């Protein structure tokens, strides 16, 4: 019995060291691909579609607002530990998606379709800037 004690103590210490990472309670569930396909593509498409069919009542604008907010927040989700690919460029590029989403939110708030289409251009750049290095390994067309 006495010989077993130090092992038990060491085990308790290991658990204590591992604990802080779990304290936030955040559990990434979707993969980056699922996030991109499920949440990011549908919300950005809804914003791009404004060019073809402009929102014309309060319900339409509210729906566009929700998509802009969802896209901006998806940028934050890309930055979560366990999903982020690194601490540098990945974070900057995810942040660019948040910022492009915020530009879209501002445009929706003043119901400015042209500004929303401008935000759409910013969003496309944010997608491709990340896809070139992280998804396609530089094989797709570079962003101009």
Binding site for ligand HEC (CB under 6 A): 32-33, 36-37, 40-41, 44, 78, 90, 93-94, 97, 123, 126-127, 130-131, 134-135
Query: Which residues, at least 6 apart from 80, have a Cβ–Cβ distance to it below 8 Å?
Result: 26, 28
CB-side exposure of 78: number of CA atoms within 13 Å? 31
Least distance (Å) between residue 26 CB and ligand HEC: 18
* Nearest CB to ligand HEC, comparing residues 55 and 67: 67
Least distance (Å) between residue 53 CB and ligand HEC: 19
Least distance (Å) between residue 28 CB and ligand HEC: 13
Q: How many CB atoms lie within 10 A of CB 114?
A: 10
Contact (CB, 8 A) for 47 and 119: yes
* Nearest CB to ligand HEC, comparing residues 55 and 94: 94
Least distance (Å) between residue 54 CB and ligand HEC: 20
Burial class (CB in 10 A: 0-12, 13-18, 19+), 91: middle
* Nearest CB to ligand HEC, comparing residues 68 and 126: 126
- Give the separation between CA 116 and CA 108, rounded to whole angstroms: 7
Least distance (Å) between residue 142 CB and ligand HEC: 15
Contact (CB, 8 A) for 127 and 94: no
* Nearest CB to ligand HEC, comparing residues 2 and 33: 33
* Nearest CB to ligand HEC, comparing residues 55 and 78: 78
């Amino acid at each position: 019995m006495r010989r077993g004690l130090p092992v038990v103590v060491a085990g308790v210490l290991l658990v204590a060291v591992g604990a802080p990472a779990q304290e936030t309670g955040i559990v990434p569930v979707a993969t980056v691909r699922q996030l991109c396909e499920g949440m990011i593509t549908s919300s950005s498409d809804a914003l791009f579609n404004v060019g073809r069919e402009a929102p014309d009542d309060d319900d339409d604008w509210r729906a566009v607002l929700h998509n802009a907010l969802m896209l901006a927040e998806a940028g934050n989700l890309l930055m979560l530990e366990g999903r982020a690919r690194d601490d540098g460029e990945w974070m900057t590029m995810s942040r660019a998606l948040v910022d492009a989403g915020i530009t879209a939110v501002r445009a929706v708030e003043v119901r400015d379709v042209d500004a929303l289409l401008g935000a759409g251009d910013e969003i496309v750049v944010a997608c491709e800037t990340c896809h070139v290095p992280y998804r396609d390994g530089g094989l797709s067309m570079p962003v101009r």
